Chains A and B, each alone.
Chain A
Amino acid sequence: MNAATGRLGKAILGSYFGLMIIFLYVPLVVLVVFAFNNAYIPTLPLSGFTTRWFHAAFANTDLTGALKRSAWLALLNGVAATILGLLAAIAITGRKLFLRSVWTTLLLLPLVVPYIVLAIGMVIVIHQLGFQASLTAVLAGHIVISLPYAILVIVPRLRTLDASIVEAARDLGAGTFSAFMLVTLPLLVPALISSVLICFTISFDEFAIASFLAPPDAPTYPVFLYSGTRTPALEPQVIALGAIVITLSIVLVVGAEVSRRMLEHRLAT
């Protein structure tokens, strides 16, 4: 430790880290502060405390509708992507897999293909098939972009599972399938929960694909947010809702990480 930084170096690095943390949180704090500001336009000086934007936001059925739509979409996406990710992870970690590197590369491809390309590609496919833009199309797009994250969460956990536990189950008479259901799957629960949460967040926040594929009369929540920023009358509601979502997602991220550590700790002992 001392070989890496001296006392002065530590002080400088520490202050730098502190300043960057402030830089990272200032915009988020500003958003939360202005959610309570009693004015239509977010400018300084503050014009007094109000909660009316929250009331207005929750009375706005377009907004709450978009929020509900996105929540359902994100939930379906979280479950579907996790199931597909689990299947892929089991196959990837298998002893023998024909063309393993081809399949894994293919499944991780969505990490690098720009979302704008995926979005317009899906627009073209839907046009060629004679379909209309729909939330189903948005869901399909979200599942594909979430799948690599599900795999990257599940595979390491599957790898670190003690193979001897599964072998013990099999020696005690369990078949491949029942050994999986009774031993492997329960041990995977923490990873599966993180996967669902991560995939939920990806879909819930996703704008590029949804902006191309969601029907105009059924926008997802980010699409609604974006249109809200272009409508001055809606902006305070966008900020109010944004403040809630940002606060919730920070609580969720921290909570998920803490509980994952606790769960895995308990399973490890």
Chain B
Amino acid sequence: MSSERAAAPPRRRLPRPRSGRGLLMVPPVLVVLAVLVAPIVLIALYSVDVKTNLPFTPTKFTWSMWRDFLPPSQGKYPNPFWHRFEVSMVITVIVSLVAVTAAYPLAYFLAFVPRRSRYTLLLLMLAPFFTSYLLRVIAWKIMLSNSGVINTALWDLHLRAHGNGIPWLIYSKFSVGLVLFYSWVPFVAVPIFVLLDNLDTSLLEAAQDLGANRFVTFLRVTLPLSVPGVIAGFVFVLIPTTGEFITPLLVGGPDSQMFGNSIQSFFQDTPNWNYGAVLALWLVAVVFVMLLVFGRFLSTDLQEANT
């Protein structure tokens, strides 16, 4: 890293002495360890009562909160937070599946549109995704609320009796699902688009030369080849939605709160950090399992050894 070395001619092309380069990794790694890893370790300690925020409370290692939360020992009445987790996962999986299904034709269209307009259209589709997430949810609240844009439009058109809003339009699983779908669908199209965009079109021509029509070509060639992109898109919604809590906070009702809201409630409304830590660590564990299952579809192009 010293520039004095440069002053020593004659230079020879040796393997570049770059031993110091790896040390640059130290500051970013330390920041992540301090701000991300240390908190997760503390959450783990809280979840087994080794640490607590309650003053004058003796701490002692115990699995009791975990036993209370996890299903095996629950018997007849399931733990309400476990139930919330199940509801939340159902919403998450449905939203992810619908988003991938809706995004596929978007990606397909973009991948086969003339190259000139391709990236302009891609940008058009992605621009809303890059605006404030919170603002998009607020915009939907304006659309969906009881005297909001959709209901009042229906009243004005005499399609519904005045003052009689559609009951499931807001504060329901529908509204939570719709807004989550809206937020993620453009993003899901990206990995599918990248894959289709790089697809060797001569394969499609070959299939057709061999007698397949376009539909069969799609089913037997294009679709199977785009599976990695589809799975990547699925995971792109699945993982963030698993920990979601903002959308249910704004457009969800009591029966459509998600698991993230349960965690939040233990730190804000009814403080019990230790129990909240159990839920938080469970959420991390679930996300890590998802990564283990789907991780190989999420190649980030950073792992490969350099030239």
Tell me how far the C-beta of A192 lies from the nearest C-beta in chain B, rounded to whole angstroms.
15
B245 with A208: CB separation less than 8 A = yes
Instruction: Give Cα A5 to B222, complex, Å.
Output: 11
Chain B contact patch, size range: 35 or more
Mark A230-268 against chain B: 1 for CB-CB distance below 8 A, else 0: 000000001100100110011001100100000000000
B159 at the A interface (CB under 8 A): no
CB pair A120 B21 closer than 8 Å: no
Q: What residues of A have a CB within 8 angstroms of the CB of B39 in the complex?
A: 117-118, 120-122, 124-125
Chain B residues near A30 (CB-CB < 8 A): 139, 142-143, 149
Closest to A150 in B: B28
Q: Of residues 82 to 133 in A, which have CB atoms within 8 Å of B's CB atoms?
A: 84-85, 87-88, 90-98, 100-101, 103-104, 106-110, 112-118, 120-125, 127-128
Expressed in whole angstroms, the minimum distance between the Cβ of B271 and any Cβ of chain A is 10
* Minimum CB–CB distance for A58 against chain B, Å: 18
| Contact A113 to B284, CB < 8 A, known contacts A96-B18, A122-B35 | yes
Contact B1 A177 (CB under 8 A): yes
Q: How far is the CA of A138 from the CA of B33 in the complex (A)?
A: 16
Beta-carbon contact of A114 and B260 below 8 Å: yes
Knowing A3-B214, A116-B245, the reply to whether A85 touches B28 (Cβ < 8 A) is yes
Chain A interface main SS type: helix
Q: Binary interface profile of B, 116-147, with partner A (CB < 8 Å = 1, else 0)?
A: 00000101111110111111101111110001
A-side interface size class: 35 or more
Nearest B residue to A181 by beta-carbon distance?
A: B3
* Chain A residues close to B by CB (< 8 Å): 1, 3-6, 9-10, 13-14, 16-17, 20-21, 23-28, 30-31, 34, 41-45, 84-85, 87-88, 90-98, 100-101, 103-104, 106-110, 112-118, 120-125, 127-128, 140-141, 143-144, 147, 151-152, 155-156, 159, 163, 167, 170-171, 173-178, 201, 204-205, 207-208, 212, 222, 225-226, 229, 238-239, 242, 245-246, 249-250, 253-254, 257
B contacts, CB < 8 Å to A: 1-7, 9, 11, 13, 16-25, 27-29, 31-40, 42-43, 46, 51, 53, 102, 105-106, 108-112, 114, 121, 123-128, 130-136, 138-143, 147-149, 152-153, 156, 182, 185-186, 201, 204-205, 207-208, 214, 217-218, 222, 239-240, 242-243, 245-246, 249-250, 260, 263-264, 267, 273, 276-277, 280, 283-284, 287-288, 291, 300-303, 305-307
